[in-house]
Structure 1
């Protein structure tokens, strides 16, 4: 917008006409926003001068005629414009911010939506929160490194022992198979973090709600077990470890339940854990394409969960989350997972896309451990140990990280109407995943 027009020299005819059109837009805006507070005679003068300038613009009048008309209207607008005209720096900035917010909201609602992946159910295709684990006695990252890591959304955790003693991991009982008693690491306490014990003193490790500390504990104290290529990954690794620990007498029963004796002893103030948590992938989700084409088997897709009863809370309130999974079955397709962890559609092993093929081949060197047929006895579970036909207007969804994904095997199908879009671009962090989404 021009804030000063008298004496302004525009050598070309079309530039005068352009300025005339701009100031006519301002006159319309002033009338729209301030017409009810202006004196009738002031508004009438503005309308008269604007009408005269409209006539000159329509017949492409020469600069000798348009310049005086522009100047006259400008002088009236200076009196009538209030905070709208002349444009102040603050007013211009506020308008810019408001318009940017409107545009951003429109883009998010109709075109592209950012989506943060919190868990590793789609690993290794997409990353949720992951950990880089260091031995407790390793060098702690410097302040500068930690500050730089935060810019990359990476957080460093160094947990110090409260007293001298051996580090112990609390366990929960997980049944008995007739030969060995089974345990599993105790999860986080409600409303708190994970608990470890040093000597006989408990210490709480507070990590994000969506982050499981079990993998960090395994890689800290039992790195050899963490490398085992087992079907259920960390679940099977812990089971194998704890069965052997029970046989070796390394599980003690105390007043607060069973505990695994790690054999790692520390002094007060020494690190018990030393690790970084890396943020999950941030995606842009394409909300447009599925308005014109139907989702296909093999697509990764984002969907709402408020119409999936199996994800409602204990009070029956619907979930408000968005999930990203791989669409593995469309209406009418017959799905099954065989005993070798291969995924079958209509009786044949899948041949695309690559992640589904790699999972069916159990390509553990690439991070794919095969499919699991079921997740257990959930109310809305649809296991795949026998053939299942996808119902009309629904999709069947699985995570690529089959042993660590809660998906259609546990909570049922995805309604067609709740599909939001498909991942388009991974914009953060700047890792090997950055770029076009797979």
Structure 2
């Protein structure tokens, strides 16, 4: 605690600091006379700040002399306003935050499930009639899990019909639910883009919006066609029942079997839960090179993949090998230089197909590398990366290796949402 004398000297020192600040900030705008007055205030108040015999009466007398000088020449600096008093603090804080983000820790939100179950992208939870979250539960689930609830209500009575984009190729049926991209708000404030999916009950549309990075196909299939894992499976079955109808070569409808809804009833209720938000360590790789098994974050703009240009994005994958390593996949295991990959839980559990890891696969449509019976030697100064969720990952099996310089860091700490994955990143 300050003694009364120290408090008075501190107040005198604040006058000296303010006079010096005005001089430093406005000396190119002030006259010689104004600068002389400010220097006089500074020198006098600085001297009193060191005077142990300073009294309250003396300080009050002098402050009545100093105040008009500071106000007359202070411009926007004095008298103090909220912004003049805190602008420097905000600027310094912003510089510190930007510096930390650029050189030490960068926030990153995982959009997809290519690294599941190590990390989770956005996913859904569908509710039955009796399981709808209460009004009180919704804000808690949003705060803790990033769960946003979506409810679709029938505008009229009848069966549910889902419009699809559809194509038959030599490789099989390709289809997805139709949607349009619309303007929306994130957290009710920030402008963003959303996907709007239409459903038809009877002849009336009932649409719902989801984040742009989220695909609602799995929601619709799980809710209305639980026997299937893809639209291809749904179409293969329902086209024999007459519930699948084509409009033209690329547009179709599919009707939900054995369900009728009345106007006002809930057709669909589900949550979209946030993908893991983590910090990326941008510091360590300046001193220690990445090693196989590290969860790396890298830029994609230098990756050449004509079927699906990746653009300027950030991906997170598991580093499978570095320059000079030879890789092979013998499902479900990854092999590095002839030995089964170890040293990381994702390598080990994928090989054992336990705890949600389904194993590494190869030879799928579009895969160019590590196909059955082949190996791949990584060029020098290049990396090869794989997703932990091998069956649902666009990774180096498709577009090959990439330059080391593309890597910006490694996953460090999952800070949100508050699930069992919260904590140091694996």
CA-CA distance at 1:414 after TM superposition: 3.0
1:194-343 equivalent positions in 2, closer than 5 A: 194-198=197-201, 204-223=207-226, 225=227, 234=229, 243=236, 249=241, 252-255=244-247, 260-269=254-263, 270-310=265-305, 319-338=311-330, 340-343=331-334
Determine if the alignment matches structure 1 residue 430 to structure 2 residue 424: no
Contact 1:184 1:242 in 2 (8 A): no
The separation in 2 between residues aligned to 1:320 and 1:64, in whole angstroms, is 66
Contact 1:154 1:278 in 2 (8 A): yes
The separation in 1 between residues aligned to 2:27 and 2:352, in whole angstroms, is 72
User: Which of residues 340, 344, 369 in structure 2 aligns to 1:349?
Assistant: 340
Name the structure 2 match of 1:188: 178
CA-CA distance at 1:93 after TM superposition: 2.9
CA 1:48–1:196 in 2, change beyond 3 Å: closer, same or farther?
closer
The separation in 1 between residues aligned to 2:299 and 2:66, in whole angstroms, is 53
- TM-score between both structures, scaled by the size of structure 2: 0.79
CA 1:374–1:96 in 2, change beyond 3 Å: closer, same or farther?
farther
Name the structure 1 match of 2:109: 116
CA-CA distance at 1:384 after TM superposition: 4.2
Q: Name the SS of the counterpart of 1:309 in structure 2.
A: coil
The separation in 2 between residues aligned to 1:9 and 1:50, in whole angstroms, is 22
CA 1:160–1:79 in 2, change beyond 3 Å: closer, same or farther?
closer
CA 1:200–1:22 in 2, change beyond 3 Å: closer, same or farther?
closer
Determine if the alignment matches structure 1 residue 368 to structure 2 residue 357: yes
The separation in 2 between residues aligned to 1:346 and 1:20, in whole angstroms, is 73
The separation in 1 between residues aligned to 2:43 and 2:84, in whole angstroms, is 27
Name the structure 1 match of 2:133: 141
The separation in 2 between residues aligned to 1:312 and 1:100, in whole angstroms, is 43
CA-CA distance at 1:43 after TM superposition: 1.8
CA 1:184–1:89 in 2, change beyond 3 Å: closer, same or farther?
closer
The separation in 2 between residues aligned to 1:74 and 1:99, in whole angstroms, is 29
CA-CA distance at 1:26 after TM superposition: 4.4
The separation in 1 between residues aligned to 2:366 and 2:308, in whole angstroms, is 17
Contact 2:282 2:408 in 1 (8 A): yes
CA-CA distance at 1:353 after TM superposition: 0.2
Name the structure 2 match of 1:404: 392
CA 1:362–1:10 in 2, change beyond 3 Å: closer, same or farther?
same
Taking only aligned residues, the RMSD between alpha carbons, in angstroms, comes to 3.8
The separation in 2 between residues aligned to 1:32 and 1:375, in whole angstroms, is 68
User: Tell me, which stretches of 5 or more residues in structure 2 are unaligned?
Assistant: 182-194
Aligned residues between the structures: 401
Larger CA deviation: 189-198 vs 27-36: 189-198
The separation in 1 between residues aligned to 2:342 and 2:177, in whole angstroms, is 38
Contact 1:375 1:410 in 2 (8 A): no
The separation in 2 between residues aligned to 1:28 and 1:303, in whole angstroms, is 48
Contact 1:376 1:410 in 2 (8 A): no
CA 1:105–1:263 in 2, change beyond 3 Å: closer, same or farther?
same
CA 1:184–1:285 in 2, change beyond 3 Å: closer, same or farther?
same
Q: Name the SS of the counterpart of 1:421 in structure 2.
A: strand
Contact 1:27 1:77 in 2 (8 A): yes
CA-CA distance at 1:161 after TM superposition: 3.1
Contact 1:305 1:418 in 2 (8 A): yes
CA 1:176–1:102 in 2, change beyond 3 Å: closer, same or farther?
closer
Larger CA deviation: 324-333 vs 408-417: 408-417
The separation in 1 between residues aligned to 2:41 and 2:245, in whole angstroms, is 93
CA-CA distance at 1:343 after TM superposition: 0.8
Name the structure 2 match of 1:393: 381
User: Which of residues 16, 23, 27 in structure 2 aligns to 1:35?
Assistant: 27
The separation in 1 between residues aligned to 2:89 and 2:365, in whole angstroms, is 54
CA-CA distance at 1:96 after TM superposition: 2.5
Q: Name the SS of the counterpart of 1:186 in structure 2.
A: strand
The separation in 2 between residues aligned to 1:222 and 1:138, in whole angstroms, is 20
Contact 1:336 1:387 in 2 (8 A): yes
Q: Which has the higher strand share?
A: 2
